[in-house]
A and B are shown apart, each in its own frame.
Chain A
Amino acid sequence: MNSFLPSLPTIVALVKIGLLVGGLMTAAAYLVLVERWMAAWVQDRKGPNRVGIPLTKIRLFGLGQPLADGLKIIMKEDFTPRHVDKVLYTAAPLVILAASLAIFAAIPFGSSLPPIPALGLTGEEPLLVAPGLDVGVLWVFALSSIAVYGVLLGGWASNNKYGFLGGLRSSAQLVAYEIPLGLGLLGIVLAAGSLKLDAIMNAQASSGVWYAFAQPLGFVVFFVASFAEAARLPFDLPEAEQELVGGYHTEYSGIKLLLFLVAEFLHMVTAAFLIVIMFLGGWHFWGLTGSGEVGTWTVALLRFAVLSAKIFAVILFFMLVRWSWPRFRFDQLMNLAWKVMLPLGLLNLVTVAAIEEFRPWLTATFGTGGATAAAIAVPWIVFFVGWIVSGVLTPSGTDNTPIRTRGPLDAEHALGAGRREELVEA
């Protein structure tokens, strides 16, 4: 009889999945509200502040808004236009949402919990759905690439030129920015010596040096690339409203559109998770969270709080950036990816590899402190030199100066060559 019951690890995993999916869906709903607030505040408005508890007059600063928005979009007609490819049209939002949710199997959402003997958990329980997954980072990148298929399918199945263009742009952009993203990641993997995200966090916690300080170039490259991967402004070309109506989700409405929008927010949350875990120390904060085993519930909760606060701060920055800089033109976007971010990412990778290679020699020559100082100083020097060189050498196509093939007075097409000479002489 007992064999029909799920085993303890299964139950634990199911509970974790439930918490994570529930938390993520709620977070995505409330991030829409936060995004609207930020948008309003930046534009000197107050933002949504009316909807509170339904059927009462209690407003709660508009915290009921996500519920109202969700209900409204779910109650809408689930309309399928006649000209679409029905199978792919239905599959696209499912693919993109499933992929963006499955990513979180390998992403730790805290440090770990202390043992709970009452439930039969004798060891520390890591806050991670798939704790034994050795290819954690690869899983994350593989699934975020699958999410591209959702966008492409949506654009293709819509049978609509705006949707199609959005899908094409999206594929070009995401392929281009996977590379700097991967290069930024490779530096981290080299330094931490593991593909597990929790091991990467532990490495930062034990040394106390977050990789953002040790690898500034990698941080910048990864940060910019993750903006592009999440298709956030200033890189939101796949759905540039002014040019493409809605991009790949032009033809979608109702619940399917909701799935697309939720997946988009989950991409942003994933990007924030990765930035925090890989570059900003994860749950580590100096003098607050310790760096070894969890031990007590206080430490466990504190680490969870620190991680959440960092992720929220990064998401707020994402939202602030949206209103700070204009969208790049598509050729500028591609120039930035291939001619700036790719070389900078390679430079970072070479620097990190060289430092890791010579670290034993540095330690032997200058002692541990000297080696750490050198391992931080050299990447910063490389960072500034690399940035300045790339700025000077950047092809002029990335600036907005119009390319003049003739001077402003060379208006032969308007006046005729001889006529112009007369006018200039007169």
Chain B
Amino acid sequence: MKPNDPAITWLEEKPLGLAERLYLPLFVQGLAITARHLVSPKVTVSFPEQRPNVGNPLIYRGVHRLNRDAEGRVKCVACFLCATACPAHCIDIVATESPWPDREKYPESFQIDELRCIFCGMCEEACPVDAIELTSLLDLTGKSREEMIFDKEKLLSVFDMTKDAEPMKSAAMGGTL
């Protein structure tokens, strides 16, 4: 774009008036703004005592869970789509023949390394049966690296823990049950 392009509107700063030259408006404005903020409500969330507001839990990406179907079985069909989609390679699935007639495979073991996970939510998007979901649990801590590798039982227990507060997204969004 050239300096004389008609699309450019050149603005000139107004020359300072007497009041500005006396530094008075700046003085008053600055002090008024800081004084107002000094007493205004604070935005800090005192974390452990006070839970932060996560907004819409449907689109929040916290700790994973493995959903159960109506009979309480794991919904996962061990198709490996989530493990393939995962950019951090943190999902490790061992598939085996399913004992149930409605699917061919199911995960014998399903591990997510929460320390490697980048919480991008690609696994959730990739899953064809809406078995893996990200909850709105945000304070994920542990005392060892081993503890942070979540196995199938732990991921299912996350589901049991959060299913009342956060119903399966699949159900609300018309996915497969």
Contacts and interface: CB of A to CB of B under 8 A. Distances in A.
Interface of A: 38, 40-46, 49, 320-321, 323-325, 387-388, 391-392, 394, 399, 401-402, 408-409, 411, 414-415, 420, 423-424
A406 to B, nearest CB: 10
Interface stretch (B26-34, B59-67, B70-78, B139-147): B26-34
A324 B34 CA distance: 6
Interface in B15-71: 15-16, 18, 20-23, 26-27, 30-31, 33-35, 37-44, 46
Contacts of A402: 13
A399 B42 contact: no
Interface in B142-160: none
Contacts of B20: 399
Contacts, number: 70
Interface stretch (B2-10, B91-99, B114-122): B2-10
Contacts of B27: 325
B18 A392 contact: yes
A51 to B, nearest CB: 14
Nearest to A326: B30
Q: Which 8 pairs, one residue from A and one from B, show the smallest C-beta to C-beta distance? A: A324-B30, A411-B3, A391-B21, A391-B22, A46-B44, A408-B10, A324-B34, A325-B30
A41 B40 CA distance: 8
A408 B30 CA distance: 32
Nearest to A424: B4
Interface of B: 2-4, 10, 13, 15-16, 18, 20-23, 26-27, 30-31, 33-35, 37-44, 46
B17 to A, nearest CB: 10
A62 to B, nearest CB: 12
Contacts of A420: 4
Contacts of A43: 37
A421 to B, nearest CB: 11
B23 A391 contact: yes
B16 A399 contact: yes
Contacts of B23: 391
Contacts of B40: 44
Contacts of A44: 37, 40-44
A323 B18 contact: no
B36 to A, nearest CB: 9
Given A45-B43, A401-B15, A392 B21 contact: yes
